[in-house]
Structure 1
């Protein structure tokens, strides 16, 4: 494990900063929407644009990692995220749209790049735990955004955006001393075959285990990003929370996601295995989404935070177990390509999920209906995961 911790630490930091860049606009959505004269529900469109760009970028990540190295690709991602956030600070809707594209292009390659590094340096029996620790960078970015962005609004929302951009730039320099050692396997002469973006998707569709994992990640991602995108707005508009209190509640849910990712990775490696662990998490997400829909302003704050913590632990905690299983199921030496292909489907769920959540909530006049729809999606995921487990149990009984 000694050789694992160094790449784990740097990939964790990079993941946290690009995640913070992505979540910053949703956290400040009520203030931003009021200043620009638009509805807060439009934040779902912003997130959808980010992940549409991320989906395309993830498909090209395998070729870029092979040529430039995982650290260099990750540094490029940080630079793009910083540029996108800084551009959004101009305050016009076209600038924010282009900024969303840049953030997505920066965010998309980071996870395939880190999977490439960790697949090379992690013992197989600790894959779920190590990948889960690395993926805590996503909710950790949410913790940073929820805890720091509302106080940073004293600088104005433009100043807060520029501060987040500066943090991403700083991380580029932090990663640079590790670049030579960790990118030693790069092939500078390898051609960039970016035109064949369908290759990762074909790999996923050709392998039934990868196909199942990708399909379930589509539904899990709807739940995760609906929670992350709309929680502050839901608490502010429906439960009458102040923006700082709502941001702290988001931080609680994201912090629980950090704990959940490590805990579920350990439980998966030690006892349940990835498929059973994901089935348990699907059931937990469905229940928590229904409980969140039932929250009301008269409930004690601790009760609300307990529900949101459990929601975050499950809706955010699934990712590391999923990515580790993708790396296990990928053909040898092709973890970054398989990860890029499955993440394209994951990101498709994110592209469709928050805008659909916002549209449904807007049409019905209730964010609660959106959370009920999230619960229904995860019930479908649970059914899909249980089916092969039941077939496997039936086969064992027939052999016995």
Structure 2
């Protein structure tokens, strides 16, 4: 029951933003939003998520996981209600900011909950498995948006708000009470200073930012790269993207299980193995330029999804291994902050490479970044 609720919490963030963005055609008609403004809603959501990550982690350490998850769900429900009542871009952007801030609480709270509530023998598995709530929430948000053409664009968003509000009630009633951190257990130093001083955490977080950035870059540029390399048509592109996302889903489950069962629960070792396999996927992507094989392109996309796009659970588990319990929420917030910033910077860097050198240069750049991640993790126990 507890893990199901944690899974549901992760689904809420993706559900909230997709329930709005999938209603884009109705929003352009009803509210006169431009394509730039629609994209701006996603940017506002992402910026609020990144900005809230570290403060949300510190709040989680103070309030406890049940209170943080409950607050996050009610915050998302409020943001969706504000969005549904919007008459224009400004109010809709404010609603999206509330949703992003609410999801910022979920990442550290859910990671802290699994670390404290479940046995260490399955910790990495569960930390990876909870991330599959994101595609589940995305699917749910897209489904709610289908109500728009029938009952108006607000219908799907209101439905998503009611789901988030119900989830908040379930968190409050069914999750165990951890309570605020007692005064005598409070760290003697400033918590943020302690988090930033944790040995190896900065290096581990930089690696997390790079892998997340590579994931976003693959989402953004794979279609163009495959079209450039051998003129891939819609069917091949569809198969390649399906392989990428299928690999991501399977990898997020498999790497947790493999790490717990075969690597003695060592996420740093699991990430190093992941990087080694990722290099094979990058090599296959580069070879597509030479042999123009649709089959090889599909295989490369699957391997890249299974490795680079599936790494986030292991990065969260690595943070949980490095940070002490009383700093865990803040440390996870720090990890998610750097992870999201990587999603901003790396795609722009890869975009420049793609513009000048195509798939060969992109494959080389990805190989260098994967090697850098491996180097950052090489000294971690």
TM-score (norm 1): 0.71
Distance 1:162 1:223, change over 3 A: farther
- In 2, Cα distance between the equivalents of 1:317 and 1:351? 18
C-alpha displacement of 1:128: 0.8
2:99 aligned to which of 94, 100, 103: 103
3-state SS, counterpart of residue 50 of structure 1: helix
Q: Partner of 2:373 in structure 1? A: 381
1:328 aligns with 2:321: yes
Gaps of 5+ in 2: none
Q: Partner of 1:213 in structure 2? A: 204
3-state SS, counterpart of residue 208 of structure 1: coil
Distance 1:52 1:233, change over 3 A: farther
**Counterpart mapping for 1:274-293 below 5 A:** 274-288=267-281, 291=284
TM-score (norm 2): 0.74
Root-mean-square deviation (Å):
4.6
**Counterpart mapping for 1:164-243 below 5 A:** 166-167=159-160, 169-187=162-180, 199-200=191-192, 202-228=193-219, 239=232, 241=234
- In 2, Cα distance between the equivalents of 1:30 and 1:312? 30
Map Cα deviations across residues 7-59 of structure 1 (whole Å, 9 max, x no partner): 2110111102312434667778899999966579x95x765543332232121
Q: Is the 8 A contact 2:244 2:304 kept in 1?
A: yes
Q: Is the 8 A contact 1:223 1:285 kept in 2?
A: no
Aligned length: 366
C-alpha displacement of 1:311: 2.2
Q: Is the 8 A contact 2:108 2:329 kept in 1?
A: yes
Distance 1:103 1:276, change over 3 A: same
**Farther off after superposition, 284-293 or 257-266:** 284-293
Map Cα deviations across residues 111-150 of structure 1 (whole Å, 9 max, x no partner): 11112221221112221112112222234445556xx469
- In 1, Cα distance between the equivalents of 2:329 and 2:286? 37
Distance 1:31 1:107, change over 3 A: same
Q: Partner of 1:14 in structure 2? A: 9
Q: Is the 8 A contact 1:17 1:171 kept in 2?
A: yes
1:124 aligned to which of 120, 144, 147: 120
- In 2, Cα distance between the equivalents of 1:233 and 1:376? 21
1:256 aligns with 2:251: no
- In 2, Cα distance between the equivalents of 1:179 and 1:367? 50
Distance 1:365 1:23, change over 3 A: farther
**Farther off after superposition, 351-360 or 263-272:** 351-360
1:74 aligns with 2:69: yes
Q: Partner of 2:342 in structure 1? A: 349
